[in-house]
Homo-oligomer: A and B are copies of this chain.
Amino acid sequence: MPRPRKFLESDVVSSASEVFAVHGLAAATLDDLVRATGLGKQSLYNAFGGKRELFFRALSEDREEATRAVSEALGHDDASPLERIRGHLLTMAIEFSSSDRRVSLTTRALVESTGEEDPLSTATKTGIEQLAGVYAQCLEHARENREIPEDANVQSLAVYFVAVTRGMELLGRAGVGRGVLTAVALDALRVLHGRRMDETTPPGDAGQPGLRGPKQT
C-alpha cells in the first residue's frame, strides 16, 4: 500500500557512478548527483543515506562490472589463454586512451581513502584481489597449455597485470596516446615470454605461433 518509487535503484547508482568517475568522491557535489540522477536530495537520502554511501554502492557495482568484463575477456575460449590476455591488454590500451575524463572508481577510492582503516581502502583491496584472481586463473590455464614457462609465478604475475593496467589508466589520463599505450601493453606482455633473470639458456617450450609481434612505433 505504500507509494511506490519512481526510480530504479540500479539506474540511480549507475548515473551516480558516472558522476563519481568524472569528479571523484570529494569533488562531486550532492547537486551534481541530484542533477545526474533526476532525484531530489531527500529521495537520494531516503534510498541510500548520503553521498558516501551512494559512492560505496557505485564502487561495488563498478568492481563487479570490472571483474565481470575482465573475466569475460579472459574467459572466452575462442583463443588461447595467452592470446586472450593479449587481446584484453590491447583493449585496455584503447579504452584508457579515450579522452573522456572517467577514472575507475577503484582507483579513485584508492587515492581518496584517508587511511588503511578507511572502508574505502578495504573495499578497493578486495576489488584488486578479485581482479588479480581473474588474471591468475587465466595465467594458470596458459601455464597448463605451456604458453608460459612452467616455473612462472602465476600469483605475482596476476598482481603485475593489475599494476600495469592501473598504470596505463593513469598514463591515459595524462594524455598518453593510443599508439604509445598500445606499445606499452605489448611491452608488458613480453614478461610472459622472458627467461628468468638468472637463466642464460631458454626454457624449451616457448614458441607462440599464432601471435604477431609488437609493432612498436
A51, CB-defined interface residue at 8 Å: no
For A124, the chain B residues whose CB sits under 8 A away are 174
Contact A197 B191 (CB under 8 A): no
For residue A161, give the distance in angstroms from its CB to the closest CB of chain B: 9
For A160, the chain B residues whose CB sits under 8 A away are 183-184, 187-188
A108, CB-defined interface residue at 8 Å: yes
Q: Which of A30-38, A60-68, A162-170 lies at the interface?
A: A162-170
Contact B101 A176 (CB under 8 A): no
Q: How far is the CA of A24 from the CA of B171 in the complex (A)?
A: 19
For A183, the chain B residues whose CB sits under 8 A away are 153, 155-156, 159-160
B121, B173, B195: the one within 8 Å of A206 (CB): B195
Contact B166 A170 (CB under 8 A): yes
A211, CB-defined interface residue at 8 Å: yes
Which residues of chain A (183-201) have a CB below 8 Å from chain B? Answer: 183-184, 186-200
Contacts A101-B115, A153-B217, A156-B217 given; 6 further ones with Cβ under 8 A?
A: A128-B174, A156-B180, A159-B171, A166-B171, A198-B212, A198-B213
